[in-house]
Amino acid sequence: MKNYYVVGNKSSKSLSPIIFNHWFRKYKIDARYGFIEVSQKKFDKKIIETLADKRLGGLNITIPFKQRIMKYIELCDEHSLNINAVNCVHVNKKIKGFNTDWMGYYKTLPKIKNIKKKNILIIGYGGAALAIHYVLSLKGFKNISIINRTKKKLRFEKTTKYTISIKKLNKLLTNSEIVINTTPKNPIKKESLKYLSKKTLLSDIVYFPKNTDFLKNFPDNKKIYGISMLLEQAASCFRIWFGFNPLIDKKLIQTLDKKIQ
C-alpha cells in the first residue's frame, strides 16, 4: 500500500483526504491518503522523514510550504519553476515537483465567448494569485488588473508593472467583468458593493464556507466557488500520480457540499 498526504500548518482541516480516498475506493487503488500537520519550525525535519518513507507515493503541499518544499525536489516541472511554488510531489525513482494550481483554476472558468477579452480584476497577489495570474497570462487573457494592499511587482508581464492600490478598488469594480478574490477575507466593503454590475462573474478561491462573505454580497451574480479549483487541481495531481483523469462525480460533490455549507 502506498501512502499519500497533504502537508501544511492547518492540513487537518483539508478536504483533500476526502477527495483522494474517494477516488482510491472508486478505482480500487491500494493506497491511503492522510494529512501531516506541521509547524514552520519542524517542517524540515518532518519532510525529510516523510520523503524517506519507502511507502510514500506522493504529497500535496499547502500553505505555507509551497516554496519551502522546493529544496527537497530533484526535478521540478516548468510551471512550478515559473510560479516558484510546488503543490504536488510525485515520489518514484526521483522526487518530482509540480504545480497544478494554475491549470486547476483555468478549468473552473466557463466556456463563454470572448472570455479572454474580458476585464479581469484579481484581488490579492499571494501564492494562489500568482498561479492564477500565470495561467491567465499564459492563455492569452488581455485585460488583467491586480489590486493588492502593498505594492508588488507583477510577474508574467512583458513590461514592468505593479499591483494597483486598494484605494482604486471602486473604479476598477465598475469596469470589471470577472472579479477573482484570492484573499482569505471579504475585500469589498458595503459602500463599494454598488460599483459592481450584476452581470459580473465572481470567483473566490476560499472553499469554506462555500458561499463566502465575499460571494454572499452578490446574490444575483454568477459565481465560481473555491471548491471547484480544489477539485480540479486535485484531479491534475491524481493524473500525475496514476496516469489517468479521475471522475469528479456527483457522489463526491455531494459529500464535499455537506462539509462546506
Q: Where do the domains of the chain lie?
A: 2-100+228-260, 111-221
Range 8-36 average pLDDT: 97
Range 165-190 average pLDDT: 95
User: What average pLDDT does the chain have?
Assistant: 96
Q: What is the DSSP letter of 161?
A: -
Torsion from C-alpha of 149, 155, 160, 164, nearest 10 degrees: -20
**Residue 137: alpha-carbon gap to chain centroid:** 16
Catalytic (active site) residue 66: yes
Residues 6+ apart with CB under 8 A from 144: 120, 122, 133, 136, 137
In the chain, % of residues over pLDDT 70: 100
Checking if the pLDDT of 158 tops 90, the result is: no
Checking if the pLDDT of 211 tops 90, the result is: yes
Range 129-143 average pLDDT: 96
Checking if the pLDDT of 240 tops 90, the result is: yes
Domains 2-100+228-260 and 111-221 share a fold: yes
Q: Residue 124, Cβ neighbours under 10 Å: how many?
A: 23
How many whole angstroms separate alpha carbon 116 and alpha carbon 178? 11
How many whole angstroms separate alpha carbon 130 and alpha carbon 113? 25
Query: Which CATH number does the domain 2-100+228-260 belong to among 1.10.3720.10, 3.30.1390.10, 3.30.750.24, 3.40.50.10860?
Result: 3.40.50.10860
Look at the alpha carbons of 176, 181, 183, 187 in this order and tell me if their dihedral is positive or negative.
positive
Residue among 237, 180, 241 at smallest CA distance from 14: 237
Range 86-91 average pLDDT: 98
Domain 111-221 has CATH 3.40.50.12590: no
Angstrom CA distances, 61 to 7, 57, 66, stand at 5, 14, 6
pLDDT at 141: 96
Checking if the pLDDT of 152 tops 90, the result is: yes
Task: Give the CA count within 13 Å in the CB-facing half-sphere of 117.
Answer: 3
Range 192-210 average pLDDT: 95
Residue among 126, 107, 136 at smallest CA distance from 231: 107
pLDDT at 119: 98
pLDDT at 85: 96
Range 203-213 average pLDDT: 95
* Type of residue found at 213: D
**Which one of the listed residues 10, 28, 42, 66 is annotated catalytic?**
66
Q: Are strands 95-98 and 88-91 parallel, antiparallel or unpaired?
A: antiparallel
How many whole angstroms separate alpha carbon 47 and alpha carbon 91? 13
Q: Residue 89, Cβ neighbours under 10 Å: how many?
A: 30
Residue-wise pLDDT tens digits, 46-76: 999 999 999 999 999 998 999 999 999 999 9
pLDDT at 21: 98
CB 58 within 8 A of CB 241: yes
Q: Which three cell numbers stand for residue 47?
A: 519532510
